[in-house]
Amino acid sequence: MDNAAIAMRGLTKKFNGFTAVDSMDLTIDKGELFGLLGPNGAGKSTIIKMLTTMLVPSAGTASVWGHDVASDRDAVRSSIGVVFQDPSVDSMLTGRENLDFHGRMYGLDRSTRQKRIEEVLDLVDLKDKADVKIEDYSGGMQRRLEIARGLMHHPKVLFLDEPTLGLDAQTRRYIWKYVRKMNEDEGVTVVLTTHYMDEADYLCHRVAIIDNGKIIALDTPENLKDMIGADTITLEAQSGEDALLKFLSKMEWILTREVSDGVITLGVDHAESRLPQIMLDACQNNVVIRSVSVHEPTLEDVFLKFTGRKIRAAEAANQARMFAMWRKRK
């Protein structure tokens, strides 16, 4: 039994000579919660559009649940649910009517629809708002309804394009909770795009970091961060600095050691598990420590390492490039 939910081989999309997605190879397993992480304009949404049959690939192939996205579109469409980056609900209809319409379009009969509407509304805590028109929903509620709708017809794969874009911190937390829950409870394979590092880190089993239409790194968030190597611990001693340095030099797991103006910076493998021992030894050697800070690598550091720039800077560059293209076209 083939375990791939999605397989891309040399997938490419060009727009007027500009390559948005550059011969991408990627396999996403069934049941995975997979993240495409990258700055705006990196090509994530274009990948999603090809996988959801909204755009035809310029070259290469992609299959979703075994169905080719170019030649077997209806089969692909029946196996997927999509939550688009921009709103895609009918604001004149109520939440329930939107879900009902969706169910009809996917060929669910009346009793299945009624049962399923209750289930998905329950999943996103929108039962009490079911009969309110969407125009009276808040942004977060609308997003939750769209996620519920994406799940209505029991898709094999659910695509979420920037699911928390423009939402406040609390609503983002809720959305994360729902995404996790449906991946676990409903067993649906989830592919999401995001340009939020923390989102990819928190949610995804595996992350592909995308820049300029290419995968620049692919692994679990933990392994990606481990590639950066050391966590750093920064210590400042109030007294007994010499004793501190002396016992620190005996600790073999310390990878790097720097001292400047009484501030000691240590590179270690796992800061959380090493810190208690340092503190314990400091106490036993009568060293008084004034302050401690720990910095763990983030996916932002991973992006920086592979591209040499921060994700914000990459976004600014992408925007400038698109603006230039847009002006050329005019």
Partner 1 sequence: MKLDLYAVYSIWLREMIRFFRLRSRMVGSLGAPFFFLAFLGIGFGSAGSSVSAIPGIPEGINYISYLTPGIIGMTLLFSSTFAGLSVLWDREFGFLKEIMVAPVSRIAIVLGRTAGGVTTAIMQSMIILISGLAMGMKLPSIEGFLLSFVFMVLIAATFIGMGLAFASKMTDMSGFSLIMNFLIFPLFFISGAIYPIERFPQEARVLVYIDPLTYGVDGLRYSLIGPGANTLPILLDLGVLALICILMLGLGTYLFEASEVE
Residue 182 CA to residue 189 CA, distance in Å, equals: 9
Residues 140-169 that bind partner 1 (CB under 8 A): 149
**Closest CB to partner 1 among residues 77, 309:** 77
**Residue 107 C-beta: closest distance to partner 1, Å:** 6
44-73 mask for partner 1 (x: CB under 8 A)?
Answer: -----x--xxxx------------------
Q: Residues 37, 89, 147, 237: which binds partner 1 (CB under 8 A)?
A: 89
Which of 93-101, 164-172, 221-229, 318-326 is the region at the interface with partner 1 (rule: CB under 8 A)? 93-101
Q: Is residue 106 near partner 1 by the rule CB under 8 A?
A: yes
The SS3 call for residue 202 is helix
**Closest CB to partner 1 among residues 38, 103:** 103
- Cβ neighbours for 62, distance < 8 A, ≥ 6 positions apart: 6, 7, 8, 9, 11, 50, 51, 68, 69, 70
**Residue 144 C-beta: closest distance to partner 1, Å:** 16
**Closest CB to partner 1 among residues 40, 265:** 40
- Residue 168: φ, ψ to 5°: -75, 165
Q: Residues 74, 128, 252, 261: which binds partner 1 (CB under 8 A)?
A: 74
Residues 136 and 168: beta-carbon distance below 8 Å = no
Closest CA to 199 of 167, 231, 226, 223: 167
State the amino acid at position 148 in one-letter form.
Answer: A
Residue 131 CA to residue 139 CA, distance in Å, equals: 17
**Closest CB to partner 1 among residues 79, 307:** 79
Q: Is residue 82 near partner 1 by the rule CB under 8 A?
A: yes
Q: Is residue 87 near partner 1 by the rule CB under 8 A?
A: yes
Q: Is residue 303 near partner 1 by the rule CB under 8 A?
A: no
Which of 94-102, 114-122, 239-247, 279-287 is the region at the interface with partner 1 (rule: CB under 8 A)? 94-102
Q: Is residue 101 near partner 1 by the rule CB under 8 A?
A: yes
Q: Residues 19, 27, 40, 78: which binds partner 1 (CB under 8 A)?
A: 78
**Closest CB to partner 1 among residues 106, 176:** 106
Closest CA to 54 of 30, 82, 35: 82
Residue 282 CA to residue 280 CA, distance in Å, equals: 5
**Residue 319 C-beta: closest distance to partner 1, Å:** 18
- Tell how far CA 5 is from the center of its chain: 18
Helix locations, the chain, DSSP H: 44-51, 73-79, 95-105, 110-123, 139-151, 169-185, 197-203, 221-228, 241-250, 271-284, 299-307, 311-329
Q: Is residue 311 near partner 1 by the rule CB under 8 A?
A: no
**Residue 89 C-beta: closest distance to partner 1, Å:** 7
**What sign does the dihedral 248-251-254-257 (CA atoms) show?**
positive
**Residue 68 C-beta: closest distance to partner 1, Å:** 15
**Sheet containing 206-211: order of strands:** 80-83, 157-161, 189-194, 33-37, 206-211, 214-219
Pairing mode, strands 157-161 and 189-194:
parallel
Q: Is residue 93 near partner 1 by the rule CB under 8 A?
A: yes
The binding site for partner 1 (CB under 8 A) comprises: 49, 52-55, 74-75, 77-78, 80, 82, 84, 86-93, 97, 101-102, 104-107, 149
